[in-house]
Structure 1
């Protein structure tokens, strides 16, 4: 009735049971609830639990806390994956590599002289991966343990670590290589187990010095009659400088960084075109060398001087050279000089006499106690530099001051003298050589 606002045609119904609660549920939740518990998929179970948690007022506070924590989770990193196609493309062998001269059709397979692929398995990447780590295929394990041995001794049990084929050299200790490979596989491919085996062995714990007769008979130490002595990799040279000076920023992960480098390297004609190299002005300047950004066409010069690979191809074995350029780098390169000033800061803030301060700095760099003659030489460098031209000391501080240190509390002559000693210590062969 539109005049008196009364309801008309009221209809009542009576039922012997309560209304069906499923009618108010979302379709996906209702479908999951109607599915027997034993037949529910993990997605259905998760959907039911989420709906119950969100609709139950007793858990409102916990639900809000969970949602707040989820909001703090960083977004995932998307990566492209390869999917096998149903119909593979036909691939043919080309006569002498000429694509205009195709020959017979070839299919994915493994070398005939090795054990075959598992029968019945699809010709996929997963099948090939399983074949690589099969106990019947020890080549993978031999290759890995040989690389670990090379990292500790400077040369692998098989010297040509980049080539295990018919053109490779013969292993110096084939039985040892095979034993390590089997031990590696039987340990569940546990690399830490192999590391521990090597460093706890009597062979590794030998001293490096040897008689002239032994060095003449075995210059490469293939007989393992003495401890390994080798210069550390280029990246470790930089990390030693930063760690010894107290400047190293040990932050894990994150973006690549841009330490100081000559600006002309990123302009024509040295580079193919102008490149951006924004030098870091905070602690990122002293991140580990692992995080240094690298252009394939313009490698970082400090790392190149110490035989770091350019990055244009995989490198299983680095060449190790010794040149005057390396000494010039550790003496004069920008970050190397800043590291020397950082070590000078540690020397001046240390306690004790000058001899004691310099002795502790020597231990910090070389891990051994200096003798009397070495201390006398360091004191002589300190005193001679302290009495030198103050203008040069001021210029050193203006051009190479570490960005994370305040050196204003140190007298300029003392700071320059300590920096001179630090440059000597950081440039020692012992500092960057594994003995």
Structure 2
């Protein structure tokens, strides 16, 4: 199987970024002879024809374009790079002077001789001796500041194990965690809450570990074990839950939050990522396999550079690098240099915040305002990522890609070394494949016949043909020579020639400063990270971040795990371990767990098992006024904090209770099914024909109403409003999709930026545009309305009612079953009376109530009211 690196195509971003940020050598053409050609044939034309509108000398830069230095010429303006050395079709200046995109200069067309000189100059590599003045950058952060922070600030200290402290009530702890927690409480004259009851602990365990409520069999088994030994019951159930496939789906979703996982670019154009689902499955499988977290870390940063024993392992490592490729992207950004700089910035931001708990991206434009991270440290990291090929767009095609601003930003994809095609990719017979190829060849012939200098309507015709070729090429490129689908993934690859980059003053691409050697932030770099001259340093960065010596990475992950089990991290600012973040509530406990995490082989499952088998995890949420006054935020952990279930757990629980949940993992995603498309606002996955019919019907009905004779108080009828009808129809379709699209687990629902499914959006689903380690947990009127009116909730209430009706024909038993399925317990006498009153009011039954079967409608209403309750939505 071919190496993905062989599929690198000439991509303007690498050359452009190199020119702006680093030192440049164009090759043999960039010689005294080439410079002489520029001075005699090109510069005079630029001065005479272009500088009046596009130079700093005249104080004019129309369209953001300046042509008076080499760097600024290559940076270009609003339409993109003015010159891409060696590539006429990508050079906006060439397209303008040949009247392919616009007609420049405005005074009249240049002579054929001059145009030929520009063609020769660009093809020889655009040698140009003009230099942009390099600005010196002064840092306010000294080496002494950095060394002081290393020596004194808690987050920059290596983690050291601490012996569990002695406590007065030594009968309470069950492991070291409890000793650390109890010692803190005793120092403030506080005591821990009593133990929660068995069913509360079980519900806490199942939702925390697999995101689902306990089954009746689990409740029965756990209750029996609990009576013998609570510790044994918890340990046994924890092992069972950690061994299930549902564990990876639950904890994989936590990681997808911080990895800003989504299946589209967002930001305006919002192009789909049809292969992002491979990374989703990689994450889930990694948690289920308990892949060592240090390896998991390294694979996502530099999996393409790590050794692999098989094609399957190599494929997995390539897919892992989707972590760097899956972020939001402004593919409609017209300036490729700005796009490349923003892409690197996003990759630096996610890498440092997710793994190191530091926002190094804050130093892009100036020294970090609060932490000892000078601007030069940001550009040391930028050199590691700059020039790296990021693959996130369409499959590569032997026919090339459309030469449009958007296509230059959408890149291509990596070919996997194993046969694992997208389940929605079509295959072609030999005849169909030949016909597709013939159509592409014919369209390319038509395009070539237009000529490079045609004007008028030929520009529109050129654009039409270019787009047709791109669409046909995308279909042709996803199959092999036999017409069978190829296997692609998103990811990254090394640059051909790694280089150090320049500081950008104020972060602006047209203000280059001095060149900065590649490296890692000094305040974090205790042992030194050596980067070979011929390598980017990304592999060394990954090995350093995911190493036993770098305990900060382990500390950040331990804190994330603690947060998901207690609702709040030991450091509440999960992505900010810097000076503006919160200090640890239990620093010795955090370090103790960190050292244990590393010694366990970076096993997340072992860490979870250690935490949930503690007595601290077993505490009830019982409120105590005295304790609250002493510690209102519960930072000392005197009780278990009540927590609202997240969006996925609420949806999945309803599906499980109704018996509709499909536990088998679906292959691919709805986005993979849609293919390579631009998402329309508010309408992804929606049947547009249905919307059109709804709008037409609504408009007809309003026209009929406006023609009716007046009878009663005058009302403002107005004209039909198509926009309003469109919005209302889209809302109805989104609700319908929530109900009918899928009954598999919520982690497999499509995550399209700005198009999150309603069942997730209303309950504070993570914003996929950014790193989210700590979701919001609101309690809003929209959530109550969702439970009252949403078709999905109504459908699941109906399905639950039908399930109960099959289990018992006695009304009182049906009420008990509703409570048991939804709450995991029997109703109290007060609740039983209230439930009976509700169903009586709906059915009109008065006599022999206990012996009669409830109607499905009444039972469904009861189930819906139980779903809408706080007890269902919260973990106690």
Is the TM-score greater than 0.5?
A: yes
Corresponding residue number in structure 1 for 2:874: 433
Residues 323 and 82 from structure 1, CA distance in 2 versus in 1: closer, same or farther, beyond 3 angstroms? closer
Corresponding residue number in structure 1 for 2:865: 424
After TM superposition, the structure 1 stretch with the greater mean CA deviation from structure 2, 348-357 or 135-144, is: 348-357
Select the residue among 119, 122, 127 that pairs with 2:540: 127
Corresponding residue number in structure 2 for 1:117: 528
- Report which of the two has the higher share of helix: 2
Superposition map of 1:268-307 within 5 A? 285-307=742-764
Question: What SS is found at the alignment partner of 2:871?
Answer: coil
Question: What SS is found at the alignment partner of 1:286?
Answer: coil
Residues 237 and 210 from structure 1, CA distance in 2 versus in 1: closer, same or farther, beyond 3 angstroms? same
Q: Is the aligned partner of 1:184 residue 2:597?
A: yes
Contact 2:546–2:553 under 8 Å retained in 1: yes
**Offset of residue 101 of structure 1:** 1.7
Residues 92 and 427 from structure 1, CA distance in 2 versus in 1: closer, same or farther, beyond 3 angstroms? same
Question: What SS is found at the alignment partner of 2:489?
Answer: coil
Residues 102 and 145 from structure 1, CA distance in 2 versus in 1: closer, same or farther, beyond 3 angstroms? same
* Distance in 2 (alpha carbons) for counterparts of 1:282 and 1:308: 18
Structure 1 residue ranges without an equivalent (≥5): 1-41, 44-72, 389-409
Structure 2 residue ranges without an equivalent (≥5): 1-308, 311-418, 422-485, 672-679, 684-690, 692-722, 846-851
**Offset of residue 352 of structure 1:** 6.3
* Distance in 2 (alpha carbons) for counterparts of 1:219 and 1:166: 23
**Offset of residue 298 of structure 1:** 2.8
After TM superposition, the structure 1 stretch with the greater mean CA deviation from structure 2, 141-150 or 293-302, is: 293-302
**Offset of residue 305 of structure 1:** 1.4
* Distance in 2 (alpha carbons) for counterparts of 1:283 and 1:297: 20
Contact 2:652–2:746 under 8 Å retained in 1: yes
Residues 140 and 74 from structure 1, CA distance in 2 versus in 1: closer, same or farther, beyond 3 angstroms? closer
* Distance in 2 (alpha carbons) for counterparts of 1:223 and 1:85: 49
Contact 2:563–2:569 under 8 Å retained in 1: yes
Superposed CA offset, 1:302-351 (max 9, x none): 32211112312221111111112111112211111101001111221122
Contact 1:231–1:434 under 8 Å retained in 2: yes
Question: What SS is found at the alignment partner of 2:503?
Answer: strand
Residues 426 and 80 from structure 1, CA distance in 2 versus in 1: closer, same or farther, beyond 3 angstroms? closer
Superposition map of 1:143-292 within 5 A? 143-257=556-670, 265-266=682-683, 285-292=742-749
Question: What SS is found at the alignment partner of 1:430?
Answer: helix
Corresponding residue number in structure 2 for 1:108: 518
Superposition TM-score, scaled by structure 1 size: 0.70
Q: Is the aligned partner of 1:308 residue 2:765?
A: yes
Select the residue among 348, 351, 357 that pairs with 2:808: 351
* Distance in 1 (alpha carbons) for counterparts of 2:841 and 2:517: 74
Contact 2:739–2:791 under 8 Å retained in 1: no
Question: What SS is found at the alignment partner of 1:431?
Answer: helix
Contact 2:642–2:874 under 8 Å retained in 1: yes
Q: Is the aligned partner of 1:99 residue 2:509?
A: yes
Q: Is the aligned partner of 1:317 residue 2:774?
A: yes
Superposed CA offset, 1:359-400 (max 9, x none): 222122122332111111111111111239xxxxxxxxxxxx
Corresponding residue number in structure 1 for 2:345: none
Corresponding residue number in structure 2 for 1:370: 827
Q: Aligned pair count?
A: 337
**Offset of residue 242 of structure 1:** 1.1
After TM superposition, the structure 1 stretch with the greater mean CA deviation from structure 2, 308-317 or 186-195, is: 308-317
* Distance in 1 (alpha carbons) for counterparts of 2:738 and 2:779: 32
Residues 219 and 345 from structure 1, CA distance in 2 versus in 1: closer, same or farther, beyond 3 angstroms? farther
Contact 1:91–1:105 under 8 Å retained in 2: yes
Residues 279 and 251 from structure 1, CA distance in 2 versus in 1: closer, same or farther, beyond 3 angstroms? farther
**Offset of residue 290 of structure 1:** 1.5
* Distance in 2 (alpha carbons) for counterparts of 1:432 and 1:81: 38
Residues 211 and 90 from structure 1, CA distance in 2 versus in 1: closer, same or farther, beyond 3 angstroms? closer
**Offset of residue 358 of structure 1:** 1.5
Superposed CA offset, 1:50-89 (max 9, x none): xxxxxxxxxxxxxxxxxxxxxxx85573335544345224
* Distance in 1 (alpha carbons) for counterparts of 2:761 and 2:737: 20
**Offset of residue 297 of structure 1:** 2.4
Corresponding residue number in structure 2 for 1:335: 792
Contact 1:279–1:285 under 8 Å retained in 2: no
Contact 2:621–2:640 under 8 Å retained in 1: yes
Over aligned residues, Cα RMSD in angstroms?
A: 3.2
Superposition TM-score, scaled by structure 2 size: 0.36
* Distance in 1 (alpha carbons) for counterparts of 2:574 and 2:863: 37
Corresponding residue number in structure 2 for 1:394: none
Question: What SS is found at the alignment partner of 2:539?
Answer: helix
Q: Is the aligned partner of 1:380 residue 2:837?
A: yes
* Greater Cα radius of gyration, structure 1 or 2: 1
Contact 2:658–2:803 under 8 Å retained in 1: yes
* Distance in 2 (alpha carbons) for counterparts of 1:278 and 1:240: 18
Contact 2:682–2:755 under 8 Å retained in 1: yes
* Distance in 2 (alpha carbons) for counterparts of 1:101 and 1:355: 77
Question: What SS is found at the alignment partner of 2:805?
Answer: helix
Contact 1:110–1:116 under 8 Å retained in 2: no
**Offset of residue 264 of structure 1:** 9.8
* Distance in 2 (alpha carbons) for counterparts of 1:302 and 1:178: 38
Q: Is the aligned partner of 1:138 residue 2:551?
A: yes
Contact 1:143–1:161 under 8 Å retained in 2: yes
After TM superposition, the structure 1 stretch with the greater mean CA deviation from structure 2, 164-173 or 354-363, is: 354-363
Question: What SS is found at the alignment partner of 1:92?
Answer: strand
**Offset of residue 281 of structure 1:** 11
* Distance in 1 (alpha carbons) for counterparts of 2:806 and 2:563: 40
**Offset of residue 282 of structure 1:** 9.9
Residues 141 and 120 from structure 1, CA distance in 2 versus in 1: closer, same or farther, beyond 3 angstroms? same
Contact 1:204–1:228 under 8 Å retained in 2: no
Residues 281 and 334 from structure 1, CA distance in 2 versus in 1: closer, same or farther, beyond 3 angstroms? closer
Contact 2:645–2:874 under 8 Å retained in 1: yes
* Distance in 2 (alpha carbons) for counterparts of 1:332 and 1:107: 59
Contact 1:386–1:414 under 8 Å retained in 2: yes
* Distance in 2 (alpha carbons) for counterparts of 1:118 and 1:219: 44
Contact 1:153–1:229 under 8 Å retained in 2: no
**Offset of residue 170 of structure 1:** 0.5
* Distance in 1 (alpha carbons) for counterparts of 2:670 and 2:583: 42
**Offset of residue 277 of structure 1:** 7.3
Corresponding residue number in structure 2 for 1:35: none
